[in-house]
Structure 1
Amino acid sequence: MTQTRRRGADLEQAVYQATREILNTEGLSQLTFAKVAAKAQTSKPVIYRHWETPFSLALLAIQDKIKADNHGQLDQVVLTGESLAADLLLVTQRFTASMDAFGKTFMESWFEGVSHDDSAQLKQMLAKVRKIDLNAIDRVLERAVTRGELTGTDLPEKLKLLPFEWLRYRMLAKESIGSAELRLLVDDILVPTYLHRLGPKN
């Protein structure tokens, strides 16, 4: 029986899944269109028509997994907290889940497989991630202003990005990130800092 040729979303998901499996088992440096095509049961010309380079395919495959595992981007998380701390905890929990979706194996092999030619695409991805992170914190700050916890949202970008950089460092350093670490980050670092900069005057 002739196998039905994959198209559209079905093809995309098969290719992304195959890409992630190769990244997980062999690393970014071993990712090729030929391997992806074979594992996804499609042809190399199909891969070449839809994706520019193995690196760009890897970026999209990882982003797809993060969105799927977390039901959207970080700045789309539904905020239901009744305080600044509660909303920040929701965002940091979601961010940690995103990092788990990326996976320690991917993280360990990622940078060793990045070539000079791929650096521009990596910078574009990091710029996009930075914007998503900032949007997520802006939403938290806006809700805190509405509740009267803060007087504004004009925080320096470095302070807005602090929780994500703190968490990324712990992952790269292979340190644990559990509920205790998230509580310390939120209750002892973020909330006091944000209140110091933007809190109501007593």
Structure 2
Amino acid sequence: MSDSPGTRRRGPVLEAAIFAAVWDELAEHGYAGLTIAGVAERAGTSKPVLYRRWPNRAHLVHAALASGHRAIVPPDTGSLRGDLLALMNAVVRVAGDVTPDVVWGLLTESAGESTFAATVRDELVDVLPEEMVATVVTRAEGRGELAARPRSARELTLPLDLIRSEFFARGTVDPGAIEEILDQITLPLLRQ
């Protein structure tokens, strides 16, 4: 169903409807069953509108994923543990609709476009950029919870690396696993 001239949506309103349609289609049909036509129909727009912005479904799904990741903001709960727990839970929430089927489909379909494939791989690895953890760590240093010292990029990305490993091994990340990753590995490492 196309937008009629009197109800045409543009910009962020249309984009939000399209991305919501992508998520609904992924939930209902998985990556393999997602089609541009299905997204267009669900979003109440047309295929040409989608193709003008995204050349194929991999680009469209990538854009929908990226829109959710931009919503993660380093929290300030007043404690290092609280900040990291909130940040890790936010990542899991954003990734909650991203099944291994979506990740593998997106990686496979983007493989033919080397620059785009590299971007997709980097963004799947950098769902939680080290800068977000660095912000949380800097706040904790300012509150006296951590000794100020240089920390490697690997140390700062470890929480996400472990969450990602859990996701690919099990297809989901249990809240108990997040707390174990935080309490048994991440916090002891940061407090060294």
Equivalence for 2:25:
22
- Could you say what secondary structure the match of 1:94 adopts? helix
- Could you say what secondary structure the match of 2:89 adopts? helix
- Could you say what secondary structure the match of 2:23 adopts? helix
Equivalence for 2:143:
147
Give yes or no for contact 1:77–1:94 (8 Å, CA) kept in 2.
Answer: no
The correspondence for 2:168, drawn from 151, 165, 172, is: 172
Provide TM-score, normalisation by structure 2.
0.80
Identity across the alignment (%): 27
Equivalence for 1:199:
none
Letter paired with 2:103: W
Structure 2 residue 14 is matched with structure 1 residue 32: no
| Cα distance between partner residues in 1 of 2:102 and 2:115 | 19
| Cα distance between partner residues in 1 of 2:61 and 2:129 | 21
- Could you say what secondary structure the match of 1:78 adopts? coil
Structure 2 residue 55 is matched with structure 1 residue 52: yes
User: Measured at CA, do residues 153 and 30 of structure 1 come closer, stay the same or move farther in structure 2, by a change above 3 Å?
Assistant: farther
Letter paired with 2:21: A
Unaligned runs of 5+ in 1: 197-202
- Could you say what secondary structure the match of 1:13 adopts? helix
- Could you say what secondary structure the match of 2:129 adopts? helix
Provide TM-score, normalisation by structure 1.
0.76
Q: CA deviation at 1:126?
A: 4.2
Q: Give the RMSD, CA atoms, in angstroms.
A: 2.6
Q: CA deviation at 1:91?
A: 1.8
Structure 2 residue 129 is matched with structure 1 residue 133: yes
Unaligned runs of 5+ in 2: none
| Cα distance between partner residues in 1 of 2:112 and 2:132 | 31
Equivalence for 2:15:
12
Letter paired with 2:46: S
Give yes or no for contact 2:31–2:101 (8 Å, CA) kept in 1.
Answer: no
- Could you say what secondary structure the match of 2:13 adopts? helix
1:22-171 correspondence runs (5 A): 22-67=25-70, 72-73=71-72, 76-82=73-79, 84-100=80-96, 102-104=97-99, 107-112=100-105, 114-115=108-109, 116-118=111-113, 120-128=115-123, 130=126, 132-171=128-167
| Cα distance between partner residues in 1 of 2:23 and 2:115 | 21
- Could you say what secondary structure the match of 1:27 adopts? helix
Equivalence for 1:200:
none
